[in-house]
A and B are shown apart, each in its own frame.
Chain A
Amino acid sequence: MSIAIFLSQILNGLQYGLLLFLIASGLTLIFGVLGVINLAHGSLFMIGAYVAFLVVKASGSLWLALPACVVVGLALGALLERFLFRYFYNREHLDQVLLTFALILIFEELRSLLVGNDFHSVPVPAALDFSVPITAGFSYAAYRLVVIGVCLALAAALFWWIERTKMGAIVRAAAEKPEMVDVLGIDARRVHMTVFAVGAALALAAGGLAAPLTSVYPNMGDGLLIVSFVVVVIGGFGSVSGAFWAALLVGLIDTLGKAYGSAFSGAAAGGLGAALPAMSIYMVMILVLVLRPSGLFGGRS
């Protein structure tokens, strides 16, 4: 339990948290602006990883794969909104759950049809396949640092878009008071389509970034979907900045819990304490919901 290991776990937690933010920010925007519970958001993450895998296989370059993920994500998001979700805004949440559950099945099977069910690994780009010495006895994989950097850049771009552009102002307004946006004569359909496309693109980008770290496999978005919902709830619905801090919190709790949890609970692997790390983030969420229902970082009550 040296300080170097602790530092690397902190960095791992940050990197996991930032990837979570890319997924959760789309989820929270789509829920906040469109009022849709998108269970298929984890599948979008998986699609991103597979797009990265295919592009890297064809071209050998991860630098091409990331823009490809963003472009595919924007297109896929816009298409899904235009031809499916648009007809579900006034339906009950239950219908949306059903619709997005069906999409999970369809995406899984299409993935199996097109790419198969094998595990694939995506190589880290050769230029980044080294470790950066941070202190005397401790170095950290360069690619992971790049992931942290790219995530931060994407997060900054997202915040800039939301806080500084006219479209962003409309999106914020739509998350707060959708009726007002309608009344002001703004074309809500364009706002909806943009938000869905951006949300999908962020999820695909997260998948593309994660591909070299986790390898690419079926159902890889399933666990992340639930954790992202936890992030959305802790951060407060529709709040992108809330999602940011909540994602970092959840990422750190999860990573540190898995690294040090067994030491605290004093149980050997496989004992009852082994479930504690996985349970901790849910406990945090329930605490937040019971004590502060609008979310830890949500301003509105």
Chain B
Amino acid sequence: MIGRNRLLPQTSAGWAALAAGAVALALLPLFAPAYYVGLVTTAMIAAMLALSLHLLVGGAGLVSLGHGAFYGLAAYTVFLMSPEGAPRPIWQTLPAAMLVAGLAALVVGALSLRTKGFFFLMVTLACGQMIFAIFHDTRLGGGADGAYLAKPLLSIFGFTLDPLSLPRAERGWPVYYVALVQLTATYLALALLLRSLFGSVLEGIRVNESRMEAMGFNTGRYKLAAFVIAGVLAGAAGHMWSLYSGFVNPEVVGWRQSAEALLMILLGGIGALVGAVVGAFAFVALGEIAQMITSRQLLVEGLAILAAVVLLRDGFMGLKPPWRGARSPRGGGRESALR
């Protein structure tokens, strides 16, 4: 039956929890200091990138290590459209950034989806590194040092909101709420997609691609469509990053960006779409906490990730409250020793 997907909440209580989370995020600026409003904005942007990647990883079982390239390409699109001092309205930059990211994803996907498994990982990585080389080695986007850009104007239907006109403590709010709206929209769009026939076919491909082929589905087309959609959504996240930071450098395109997005999915839990969001928030919080207690931030992060991968086999979303018991829905514990 179409309409359900294992990545989405299975009960209305689950949906209610998600809605409560969104409301909590909407109310946060009223109570939190400006610094944390900015921090949560970065977490929401990271969550958008991780969500878009999760369509490939969780939805279709395609592990890409080049997803950051579409994110970075979108941020660079904003830079190329609006160099320092010449801002453009968001209704021009956002579609353009998503379009560029989507076209790039179409090319990269057409090439990389000819391979499977680890080779797919390598080809996406290589494509990402090629895009990295364009921005790192040429002066197209400010070279290796990066460049400042004019943040897109928050204008719609002729009305423009200038954050600088707000009281000092509230200047981060507009970007925060744009990010929240975009994050919510990304999640809902992916949820609708996963509940459709398209999502079911992707799930079928993840479980057994040749069976889907035998059933008459052109699996290559479905995978390419998923790859392009994920690229477009990553582009929206990259646009958000340029709107927030006003700065681009080749790091936004690099492979570490892609690896971190993957990390967030695994940290949050690969078995649920919202795991990408949980993982992104956990990752950002981890960095922040590590920075508070020590200057050795990476060490704490590394050890925490190590502990997570050793102890939490299904990420944070795999943690069950004690009253639920430890039994998994399928009844079995670990898979049997036979591989």
User: A: which residues have CB within 8 A of B?
Assistant: 37, 39, 87, 90, 93-95, 97-99, 101-106, 108-110, 112-113, 226, 229-230, 233, 237, 270-275, 277-279, 282-283, 285-286, 289-290, 293
Contact = CB atoms under 8 A, between A and B. Distances in A.
Nearest to A107: B302
Given A105-B298, A289-B123, A270 B139 contact: yes
B213 interface: no
9 contacts: A106-B306, A108-B298, A109-B299, A112-B296, A230-B122, A270-B138, A275-B137, A282-B127, A285-B123
Contacts of A271: 138-139
Contact of A279 (B133, B296, B302): B133
Contacts of B122: 229-230, 233, 285, 289
B212 interface: no
Given A106-B306, A275-B137, A37 B118 contact: yes
B259 interface: yes
Contacts of A272: 134, 138, 140
A274 B263 contact: no
Contacts of B270: 94
Contact of B298 (A93, A98, A109, A277): A109
Contacts of B255: 226
Interface in B283-335: 296-299, 301-303, 305-306, 308-310
A102 B123 CA distance: 23
B125 interface: yes
Interface residues of B, number: 43
A113 B296 contact: yes
Nearest to B266: A98
A289 to B, nearest CB: 6
Contacts of A286: 111, 123, 126-127
B119 interface: yes
Contact of A105 (B143, B262, B302): B302
B228 to A, nearest CB: 19
4 pairs of A and B residues whose beta carbons are closest in the complex:
A105-B302, A106-B302, A278-B133, A109-B299
A278 B136 CA distance: 10
A107 B175 CA distance: 36
B129 A103 contact: no
Contacts of A226: 125, 129, 255
B327 to A, nearest CB: 22
Contacts of A87: 310
Interface of B: 57, 63, 111, 114-115, 118-119, 121-123, 125-127, 129-130, 133-134, 136-140, 143, 255, 259, 262-263, 266-267, 270, 296-299, 301-303, 305-306, 308-310, 339
Nearest to B310: A87
B59 to A, nearest CB: 15
Contact of B133 (A233, A275, A285): A275
A39 to B, nearest CB: 8
A290 B126 CA distance: 13
A289 B302 contact: no
Contacts of B137: 274-275, 277-278
A99 to B, nearest CB: 5
Contact of B138 (A274, A282, A290): A274
Contacts of A112: 296, 298
Contacts of B133: 275, 278-279, 282
B295 to A, nearest CB: 9
Contacts of A109: 296-299, 302
Contacts of B306: 99, 102-103, 106
B325 to A, nearest CB: 24
B119 A106 contact: no
A123 B136 CA distance: 30
A101 B129 contact: no
Contact of A98 (B139, B140, B309): B309
Contacts of B138: 270-275
B302 A229 contact: no
Given A102-B303, A282-B126, 6 more contacts: A98-B266, A106-B298, A109-B298, A274-B138, A282-B129, A285-B122
B118 A101 contact: no
A289 B119 CA distance: 8
A97 B259 contact: yes
A270 B63 CA distance: 33
A113 B310 CA distance: 25
Contacts of A289: 114-115, 119, 122-123
A10 B307 CA distance: 46
A39 B255 CA distance: 11
A110 B126 contact: no
